[in-house]
Structure 1
Amino acid sequence: MSKTPSLRLSVLATAALLAGCSLVPKYERPAAPVPTAFPTVSGATAPAAAEGQASAPVPWEQFFTDARLQRLVRLALENNRDLRVAVLNLEQARAQFQIRRADQFPTVNAAANPSRGNSQITGDIVNNFQVGLAVSAWELDFFGRIASLKEQALAQYLASDEGRKATELSLVASVANGWLTLLADEELLDISRRTLATREESIKLAKLRFDNGVASELDYRQAQSLTEAARATYAQQIRQRSQDENALALLLGQPLPDDLRAGLQGAKLADAAAMTSLPAGLPSDLLVRRPDLRQAEQQLIGANANIGAARAAFFPRIALTTQAGTVSNELSGLFKSGSWGFSIAPSLTLPIFDAGRNQANLEVAQASRGIALAQYEKAIQTAFREVSDALAGEATLGEQARAQQAQIEAEQARLRLSELRYSNGVASYLDLLDAQRSLFTVEQSAVQVRLAQLQNQVALYKALGGGWSEASLGKQETTNR
């Protein structure tokens, strides 16, 4: 190591001035490939935000007002494994960004280099001891290659953060849907249980009438068939109820609490607390509110930054290796006066022939950006469709539910009349059984429509970007670190 005192550091100053030269294409957010307003259904007007204002996300605690559902959502946020993976992906992306950021700075190491060899002048054995600080191959980022990679890593980190929020939003919506499904299962089971009991009484009556020659065997067999059909439906719904509870337990990351399971018995969808109404706002609001769209945009920004790194590979790469410390022929003289020295060794690598590797890497980066752009635009179109579908459901499911309820009332009146007519010998037993079957079918359909109406509200909440509790997110990060 040379003992030349105080070499100029102009090279380092020049590097500092030139570093930051970037070949990254200027990023501009692409125009949203969707209409400027959501469609309406049969003249129905979708709820909208005040003119000129963007509707703000509603935290899930404010949207879902049912205390039982809120408890389940909190359990899921604490224990769901998919959300844990999303948090760990964020931690991984954060660490990767720190690695790329560190590449912009020199790495300083302590160095000790003892050596022993023949002197080229005297031929004697000579010892050489060097101790100091060393910087090995620090790249001077003249053309922004490292800065581009850091920008790409930052975009990936931000995309992972949005991915975590998207996972939480999806989890909250899934838990809500699972809870509503269980309520519907309980209501369907209650309908099937009552229907089966009624038909078992009917078959007893039909058997008694058949045995006494009052009714034909056909009436008895028809009653028997409907009874067994109700029994089969009841068994199917018990199985479906168990499977739906298992699905909810998977989302929660633990079994359904015993008190909530016990409280479900005899529950109905009408028992579900009302959800907060949401303004749809404008399609452009989705770019701000939906975390999956922000995630897709960050991935596009990262792909754009990769082009800058690929372009920089065509230009010279300059690196510095330096060492400063003390050198002596004797170990005891390392720290004596006059033993200090400094060396600097720049290196330059200029690509001349690489068989088209750099060009191919650039084309890969450009194609990747094109893919990211298409995925971003597709994500916007998907979001627009999801909101439009949910608004269409909101405009029609309410009327469908009212029509179903009116049909139930009509079928109940029909059944009473059929029973009266049959008991007076005016109508056949087939008319009575048909009225029972129709009422059972309509009651089941009404529950399904009510479930679809409530789940459509959840879908609209999710499609509009929902909202999340920053406190719960912070707790989730702390839990999984």
Structure 2
Amino acid sequence: MRRRAFVLAALPLLLSACAMAPQPAPEPSLTVPPGWRTASAGEGAGEGAAIDRDWWRAFGDPVLDELVRRALAHNDDLKIARSRLQEYRARIRVADSARLPALNLALGPTRARTIGPFGEPVETTSVVGAVQASYEPDLFGRIAGSVTAARFESLAQEAAGQAAALAVVANTASGYLNLLGLDAQLALARATLESRKRSFELARHQFEVGYSSRLEMSQAEAELHATAATVPALERQIALQEQALNLLLGASPGPLARGADLMALREPRPAPGLPSALLRRRPDIAQAERLLAASDAGLAVARDALLPSIRLTASLGAQGHSLSQLLRSPTALWSIGGSVLAPLFDAGRLRAQAEIAGTVRDRAVYAYESVVRTAFAETDNALASIDGLQRQLAEAEARRVAANEVLRVARNRYRNGYASYLEELDAQRTTFDADLNALQLRTGLLAAHVDLYRALGGGWTPAP
């Protein structure tokens, strides 16, 4: 009774000696803005706004749908993400296995020679078989904390896989839209090149009959070569873009099919909702949040390592001088016991590990806030880009119409002898630049919608 009372009295002192002062998390510095700086057509959808998981179908191109399907099935980064998720799910089972007793089967034959009581050598043979069991009660929740940390890490990897899938889909859609934009620019360059050839032939004919000077013919020739140089440059960009898409698809180099024309693609209208809804939609935010929860659980595990642990062991076996004797008439062996392990002196190793876990938790807090701020900034940037590009494209279309009218008038004036060829040449340059600028802005506007879908989480709403 005295010994039991002494143990009970000493236990609080032992626990207090192992205890560690709490490590509070950093003060939060994140504020959620009440709304977006740039208004959009989908504003007002509110918190309930949902993004379609298959948002790329909004562009109305079946070829894009097929490319996205192939990317999701064969992309190398997604294969790595799926393999990593399997690893972290196995880590949960590893951590959870510590909750249950461990059973081991041991079979140990030995042969030894010793000196007997009268100095003669004695050889003995023994065969021991035993079933050993060990169990550690989770008195302070250390094992449960390890399981919790493993579960949150697995959930974080699941969100990381969703973020990787969103990035692959967005990159595939952006690459395909850029490819269609380059195709349209190449078609424009080739059509303009044919027009330049006809203009040069006319200028050369006018020079040969003495109607115009060599200067006008040379300028027409220079403009012809300048336009011709844009064709191989665009063909090179198309080849590089196709190769970039093939890498996303996990395919070998080669040409890719095209679907709808750039001008035939629909312009989607995603509803951004409120900034607070972004916290539940983006998989990278869910990943950062779950990593924060995992680091918090890891900190609790590191602190619990400072507390005593109890280990119970039991063994049941048999011994014989041979394997046949072990099976027929063995000598029964058994043992049962327990131990209490309490850290008394480790030169501060466990406390330092707990401090390290605290710094990991703090970095997870900072990383979470950084991811959220980045999400807000990316969404606002995408909305601003769409708004600005829409207004810029309207002006570019008006300029393109005006430039084509200028070219028509200049061409008529030159052919009727009211103006020099330089006037038509200048109008040709302006028209080509206006048409090219309009195509580039159209491509940029469609790509900005992809950026908005990416910033909004792209329909990958994580489970709670």
**TM-score of the two chains, using structure 1 as the length reference:** 0.83
Tell me the number of residue pairs that the alignment of Structure 1 and Structure 2 aligns. Answer: 441
* Cα pair 1:64 1:70 within 8 Å, conserved: no
> For residue 439 of structure 1, what is the aligned residue in structure 2?
431
Alignment pair present for 1:311 and 2:303 = yes
Residues 60 and 468, structure 1, Cα contact 8 Å, conserved in 2: no
Q: Does 1:172 pair with 2:169? A: yes
Who is 1:10 aligned against? none
Q: Does the CA contact (< 8 Å) of 2:126 and 2:320 recur in 1?
A: yes
CA RMSD after TM alignment: 3.2
Q: Which amino acid aligns with 1:72?
A: L
Q: Does 1:411 align with 2:409?
A: no
Q: What residue identity is the alignment partner of 2:84?
A: N
Distance in 1 (alpha carbons) for counterparts of 2:267 and 2:427 = 33
1:385 Cα deviation from its structure 2 partner: 0.7
Mapped to 2, the partners of 1:185 and 1:94 lie a distance apart of 44
Structure 1 pair 367–381 and aligned structure 2 pair: CA distance change class (3 A): same
Distance in 2 (CA, whole Å) between partners of 1:468 and 1:27 is 33
CA contact (8 A) 1:333 1:339 kept: no
> Which one of the candidate residues 60, 73, 97 is aligned to 1:78?
73
- Matches of residues 27-426 of structure 1 in structure 2 within 5 Å? 33-41=30-38, 44-45=39-40, 47-48=42-43, 50-51=45-46, 53-60=47-54, 63-115=58-110, 128-135=126-133, 138-255=135-252, 261=257, 263=258, 268-275=261-268, 277-327=269-319, 331-332=323-324, 334=326, 340-426=332-418
Could you tell me whether the CA contact under 8 Å between 2:160 and 2:287 is conserved in 1? yes
Quote the Cα distance in structure 2 between the aligned partners of 1:69 and 1:32: 41
Deviation at 1:47, TM superposition (A): 2.1
Separation (CA, whole Å) in 1 of partners of 2:282 and 2:27? 16
Work out the percentage of aligned pairs sharing the same amino acid: 36
Q: Distance in 2 between matches of 1:64 and 1:214?
A: 52
Unaligned stretches of 5+ in structure 2? Answer: 1-18
132 and 119 in structure 1: CA distance in 2 versus 1, 3 angstrom threshold: farther
Amino acid corresponding to residue 246 of structure 2 in structure 1: A
Alpha-carbon distance, 1:148 to partner: 2.4
* Aligned counterparts of 1:149 and 1:64: Cα–Cα separation in 2: 46
What SS does the aligned partner of 2:42 have?
Answer: coil
Gap change, CA 1:330 and 1:236, over 3 Å in 2: closer
Greater shift, 348-357 or 149-158, is seen at 348-357
1:441-480 aligned within 5 A: 441-467=433-459
Native 8 Å contact 2:51 2:271 kept in 1: no
Amino acid at match of 2:208: D
For 1:68 and 1:142, locate their aligned partners in 2 and report how far apart those are by CA, in whole Å: 59
C-alpha distance in 1 between matches for 2:22 and 2:286 = 20
Q: Distance in 2 between matches of 1:278 and 1:115?
A: 76
Task: Using structure 2 for the length normalisation, give the TM-score.
Answer: 0.86
Matching residue's letter, 1:132: A
User: Compared with structure 1, are the counterparts of its residues 230 and 155 closer, same or farther at alpha carbon in structure 2 (3 Å cutoff)?
Assistant: same
Rounded Cα–Cα distance in structure 2 between residues aligned with 1:278 and 1:298 = 27
Tell me the alpha carbon deviations over residues 153-172 of structure 1, each in whole angstroms, 9 at most, x when there is no partner.
21111111111111111111
Quote the offset at 1:150 in angstroms: 2.1
State the AA in 2 paired with 1:111. Answer: A
**CA positional deviation for 1:297:** 0.9
Following TM superposition, by how much is the alpha carbon of 1:409 offset from its aligned partner in structure 2, in angstroms?
0.5
Q: Which amino acid is 1:228 matched to? A: H
Alpha carbons of 1:29 and 1:249: their partners in 2 closer, same or farther (altered >3 Å)?
Answer: farther
Contact map agreement 1:69 1:179 (CA 8 A) in 2 = yes
| Structure 1: unaligned runs, 5 residues or longer | 1-21, 471-481
Counterpart contact for 2:109–2:128, Cα < 8 Å = yes
Q: CA offsets, 1:398-425, max 9 Å, x none?
A: 2222221111110000001111222233
- The 1-side partners of 2:52 and 2:97 are apart by 39
Q: 1:390 to 1:23 in 2, by over 3 A?
A: farther
